[in-house]
Copies of this chain bind each other. A is one copy, B any other.
Amino acid sequence: MKFTLQHTDQKTKARTGLLETDHGPIETPIFMPVGTAGTVKAVHQRELKEDINAQIILGNTYHLYLRPGLEVIQKAGGLHGFNSWDRPILTDSGGYQVYSLGDNRKITESGVRFKSHIDGSMHDFTPERVMDIQRVIGADIIMAFDECTPYPCDKKYAEDSMHMTHRWLKRCIQQFDTTDPLYGYSQTLFPIVQGSTYPDLRKQSAEFIAEQDREGNAIGGLSVGEPHEDMYAMTELVCDILPADKPRYLMGVGTPENILECIALGVDMFDCVMPTRNARNGMLFTSEGIINIKNEKWKEAYIPIDPALGGYVSTFYTRAYLRHLIMSKEILGAQICSIHNLSFYLWLVKEARVQIKAGNFDAWKTAMVKKVTTRL
């Protein structure tokens, strides 16, 4: 994997770059649609490419490991072969899912024992095992196995957890660096900064992560319920420590506003279920603001969803028709909203790249944050 930093904004810490993988290039800043179980929910692979312009998608280690299972994926030639997506893929490590399991998991120094949400069976994830699993899934970018702390989190727990995440990282690196990719293309491992909302812990963690000198770095443990100010403060602190010549991935973030603000702090990569999850409930992000399509005011709105975006669904279907579909719980409603919202997120980061290159990012961001936080 090769990362080339291309433009750096003068007024903010925003930057553009090019990340080159064996499955093709990724222009940064980028948003990565989430395809938890090997599918971006309600969206065809063709639509991801041609309508949404996705350059990379996510898969989820925990979910794919449980279903369809490693054997099915390996025999297909990895996740790319299994779901027929031939552009880059990133897999998260399962750390976040394990965190979400609550009482159904036990964390020890060795790793995590957890109970499947599908059939109640017991499984063990260790840093080594999670590397092996991600070798089988075969994503271009794989994530270290970490513990994602909740918010709020007392300092003692956050500190102990951070140190364990660091020890786990060393084990991940050891395992990753002594194994080979399975399908003839290379994989890279991103470590994850933790430390909850404690500046001194975040600093310590970021320095530790930077020292590992991997090809890219991630910031985890944010967007778990903390105030936006804390998210921004931690992100800025960490970005200032992580090396500038490597991509920075802020995990699980966020709203369009969050993304714009964090691009300004030096983040290059984002993922979030929000555009697809909210889509299925009829919430639309548009270039003029947020729409709750269930609102009575759209009942006779015979206008396109968001003509400024271009693209099939945003220009073809009317808000009135889409409202009808969502009110009627028709699957097509979820499909249209999902494609639209992802198209918007990819449009937003593309515009950000254009504005950074043009030296106009800061002013554009200010105007755009106002728009994307307006409720229409």
Q: Are A318 and B84 touching (Cβ within 8 A)?
A: yes
Contact at B316–A46, with CB atoms within 8 Å? yes
**Is A328 an interface residue, CB under 8 A from the partner?**
yes
Nearest chain B residue, comparing its CB with the CB of A333 = B39
Q: Distance in Å from the Cβ of A225 to the closest Cβ of chain B? A: 27
Complex Cα distance, B84 from A317, in Å, reads 7
Q: Which of A8-16, A74-82, A196-204 contacts B (4 or more CB under 8 A)?
A: A74-82
Q: What 0/1 readout, one digit per residue, does chain A (317-343) give for beta carbons within 8 Å of chain B?
A: 110110111011011101110000000
Q: How far is the CA of A48 from the CA of B76 in the complex (A)?
A: 30
Contacts of A41 in B (CB 8 A): 330-332
Which single member of B72, B84, B299, B318 contacts A300 (CB below 8 Å)? Answer: B72
Is A307 interfacial (CB 8 A cutoff)? no
Assuming the contacts A68-B324, A72-B320, A72-B324, asked whether A332 and B42 have C-beta atoms less than 8 A apart, the reply is: yes
Q: In whole angstroms, how far apart are the Cα atoms of A334 and B84 in the complex?
A: 17
Q: Is the CB of B328 within 8 A of A83?
A: no
Q: For A241, list chain B residues within 8 Å (CB).
A: none
Write out the residue numbers on chain B whose beta carbons fall within 8 Å of the beta carbon of A84.
Answer: 316-318, 321
- A76, A320, A324: most-surrounded residue (chain B CB, <10 A): A324
A257 to B71, CA, bound (A): 38
Task: List 15 A–B pairs whose Cβ atoms lie within 8 Å, in order of A's numbering.
Answer: A37-B330, A39-B332, A42-B335, A44-B313, A44-B335, A46-B316, A67-B324, A67-B327, A67-B328, A68-B299, A71-B300, A76-B321, A82-B320, A84-B316, A84-B321
Additional pairs, 5, CB under 8 Å, beyond known A37-B325, A76-B321, A84-B317: A42-B332, A42-B335, A68-B320, A72-B299, A83-B321
